[in-house]
Amino acid sequence: MTLEVNLKKAADYLARFAREGVPNQIGGKAEPAADGRTFETRAPVDGAVLAQVTRSGPADVDRAARAADAAFRDWAAWPGDKRRKLLHRIADAIEARAEEIALVEAMDTGQALRFMSKAALRGAENFRFFADLAPTARDGKTLRADGQINMTGRVPLGPVGIITPWNTPFMLSTWKIAPALAAGCTVVHKPAELSPLTARLLVEIAEGAGLPPGVWNLVNGTGEEAGRALTEHPLIRAVGFVGESATGSKIMAQGAPTLKRLHLELGGKNPVIVFADADLDRAADAALFMIYSLNGERCTSSSRLLVERSAYERFTARLAERAARIKVGHPLDPETVVGPLIDPGHATKVRSYLTRGKAEGAKLTGGSGEGCFVAPALFTGATNAMAIAQEEIFGPVLTAIPFDTEDEALSLANDVRYGLAAYIWTSDLTRALSLTDRIEAGMIWVNSENVRHLPTPFGGAKASGLGRDGGDWSFDFYMETRNVAFATGRHAIPKLGA
């Protein structure tokens, strides 16, 4: 496909949003906000308005929460196998519309089509994975004691709120919503205001595949209005959130009066530690991929590169050379790797770190660009105390720091408020094992970039989050575990007052 062909196709898919806007979906019906308000969503590539989006307030969120509550009892009673078949039908329908999803997502987020086409298929995979777990989601343990048999089991929690960010919004929405549905919960989804389009496609796909009305409701709007109202709503039993650490703190406070169960997947400043004995070719490929794919707007990006001093010059020179060859361009150009960042405000934030890093004394290569475009940037000669090494930039900016010993590498890796992911490159097995024991991160990859295996736990330590997704961990969040104890004999009961 050429850029021209993709532009034509994208225009066809986007025409309906330009015409009809992006309504909420409440109780199976497309609806505007009660007070009729809307906001614009724009294409990062040129700032063109793509659609008018419903700007929901507390009244709209209340209606969505009530719809989710009304649908809960019937949905929770669906047999697991019936739920499994329906979730597979949703996955089939996502696959059938993968091209539309990828093109719309690329235009709404600025992410390169080469990655977004895979994001749609990964979304389908998320549904299939949790579909197959649905029949056993309620299972538990049998625990015996003298004179007693205990049976644990799980029941779906109730209506839950899902709040998602603007980086890879389609994939992340499926990752959060599929397990909630498989568990038997009903959902109110509030997508990011900067990238609302594919969330609309997703709920339509699900209902088209046979999901009953009210099981999945969509409310669009800002975080402070719609998001806040969702986290404060008394009928919403839990909130699954993906976004910034500062927003996670706010959600904790907002959810406190109604004692919300929370799962927070937050920011990261993930170290990739490269020892001189590593396969440096593979380490370079992985480091480049994890910071410059998805525009660097990725929570598990390898944004801090720690390299053993003897290999530092060689390794960073190689990265700089490769980074300069990465194609920056229109997200629908099949050759593009780095597209425009999500919006002008975010591009300004990312650029401010380029200025700041230089002012702090690090050497910058790359990073040019106009508007929302920021070319791959590499800082060398940085120290861990610099803002570019401590703060989440969430763009294609890599900060490289040398180290001399394993202990120094470890202390640099841990000396940051975040603890989402870490990557270790070495051919020394004992060193790898020892480091994995001591690195403060929820997920560690050894001699690998981020390759997800869906049954494994996903989540962060420290300021990177609370709780885990993936496999059975997702069900622990979306379900209540209960214990039922049976007496197996006629044990003596204290006879008070006898």
Q: Which residues are catalytic?
A: 265, 299
* Nearest to ligand NAD of 268, 402 (CB atom): 268
Residue nearest to ligand NAD (CB): 223
Let me know: does 483 contact 142? Beta carbons within 8 Å. no
- Running DSSP on this structure, what letter comes out for residue 214? T
Name the site residues for ligand NAD (rule: CB under 6 A): 163-167, 172, 190, 192-193, 222-224, 227-228, 231, 242-244, 247, 250-251, 254, 265-268, 299, 392, 394, 420, 460, 464-465
* Nearest to ligand NAD of 214, 267 (CB atom): 267
Work out how close the CB of 239 gets to ligand NAD at its nearest, in angstroms, rounded to a whole number.
8
* Nearest to ligand NAD of 192, 209 (CB atom): 192
β-pairing verdict for 148-156 and 142-145:
antiparallel
β-pairing verdict for 49-54 and 38-42:
antiparallel
Q: Report, in angstroms and rounded to the nearest whole number, the Rg of the chain calculated over CA atoms.
A: 24
Which residues make beta-bridge pairs with 156?
479
Work out how close the CB of 184 gets to ligand NAD at its nearest, in angstroms, rounded to a whole number.
24
* Nearest to ligand NAD of 21, 248 (CB atom): 248
Work out how close the CB of 419 gets to ligand NAD at its nearest, in angstroms, rounded to a whole number.
11
3-state SS of 258-278?
Answer: CCCEEEEECCCCCEEEECCCC
Work out how close the CB of 206 gets to ligand NAD at its nearest, in angstroms, rounded to a whole number.
19
Let me know: does 155 contact 223? Beta carbons within 8 Å. no
For residue 159, the SS3 value is strand
Work out how close the CB of 35 gets to ligand NAD at its nearest, in angstroms, rounded to a whole number.
19
**Structure-block tokens of residue 317:** 């020179």
Query: Cα angle vertex 342, ends 440, 24, to 5°?
Result: 100
Work out how close the CB of 249 gets to ligand NAD at its nearest, in angstroms, rounded to a whole number.
9
- Running DSSP on this structure, what letter comes out for residue 135? G
Non-local (6+) Cβ contacts of 387 within 8 A are 353, 356, 357, 360
What distance in Å separates the CA atoms of residue 475 and residue 130, rounded to the nearest whole number? Answer: 10
Mind giving me the DSSP string for 200-211? Answer: HHHHHHHHHTTP
* Nearest to ligand NAD of 115, 275 (CB atom): 115
What distance in Å separates the CA atoms of residue 423 and residue 446, rounded to the nearest whole number? Answer: 6
